[in-house]
Amino acid sequence: MDYFKRSLKGKKTSSLSWSSFLSFYTYNAVDYVAKWVTEHVGGKPMVDDEVLLQGVKLFETQMNAATDFSSKVAVAKDIIRWAGDSFGDQLVMSTSFGLQSAVLLHLASQVRKDIPVIWIDTGYLPVETYQYAMHLKKHLGLNVKIYQSDVSPTHMESLYGKLWESKDPTERRLYGLMRKVMPMKRAHGELNARCMLVGLRSNQTEHRSQLPALEQPEDENSQTCKLYPMLNWSKEDIDEYFVLHNLPQHPLVQQGYTSVGDSHSSRPKTA
């Protein structure tokens, strides 16, 4: 699947000559990008559309060609390294501390230890998720930044009831807006985030199968693009990575859960 071409659709072509840009290109795209940034902008992170387009183009062939596990891991690390070189301290990462979250957290921590990890605590997470989060934070040395809604769960329920149980889609969207979307927007603003690493995979849902590897900001009020280094990974790749690096599993895996979000919406597969 041509993940990167979708992200370039509708963008203006760069005035920079591709032949001159690619003249130093080697298999390790990250080394090239770092060299290009150093030569053209004095080594300072460059976050305009031009560097995004150039970086995405460099990884297009590599991601599409990565069919075995080791090459997928190598390309994912290259993408994370490129993002760090390009965005500097404006690079962040999001996590839910869900069943598969440890993979991207470990990958990123191998490349760049200080990336701020945004964790949106809805106030309704299972006890096991809070325990798992603290364990991974210590195990991987994560720079976790916890964000919550300005409205406490008790306050919200007093005013609106249990919105997640409503049959009205507008009320369910209000729940997501209050507990997830607004805290994330605040995190982006306070951390001055220009790019966020996200662990979504194309084979998880129909919607995700259409995602580009680099997704531009959702609206004109946002400055944060999303980067999906593991978009071409399979569930088998995730499992292999857990075993290879002896990563701790979420406690609810042993109870038959195949996904975990808020406690009121998560159930074991056999339930």
Q: Do 215 and 228 contact (CB within 8 A), yes or no?
A: yes
pTM for the structure as a whole: 0.79
Q: What angle do CA 103, 106, 111 make, to 5 degrees?
A: 130
φ/ψ bin of 196: left (φ > 0), alpha (ψ from -120 to 50), beta (otherwise): beta
CB 195 within 8 A of CB 90: yes
Closest CA to 128 of 245, 239, 256, 263: 263
- The reported pLDDT for the residue numbered 259 is 83
Closest CA to 242 of 108, 96, 100: 100
Angstrom CA distances, 84 to 31, 108, 229, stand at 12, 10, 13
139 close to 101: Cβ distance less than 8 angstroms: no
- Spatial CA neighbour of 142 closest among 76, 92, 188: 92
Q: Can you tell me the distance from the alpha carbon of 255 to that of 106, in angstroms, rounded to the nearest whole number?
A: 24
Nearest CA among 142, 132, 61, 155 for reference residue 107: 142
Q: What DSSP element (H or E) covers 197?
A: strand 195-197
Note the pLDDT of residue 73.
95
What residues pair up with 93 in beta bridges, in sequence order? 117, 197
Give pLDDT tens digits for 20-48.
333 333 334 444 444 433 443 334 444 55
Give residue-wise pLDDT tens across range 62-102.
Answer: 777 788 999 999 999 999 998 998 899 999 999 999 999 99
For the chain (length 271 residues), average pLDDT per consecutive 10?
40 34 35 41 48 67 82 92 91 96 96 95 96 96 97 94 93 94 95 93 71 74 87 92 96 88 81 49
Give the pairing of strands 143-147 and 116-120.
parallel
The tokens of 241 are what? 């990575």
In angstroms, the CA 208 to CA 54 distance is 24
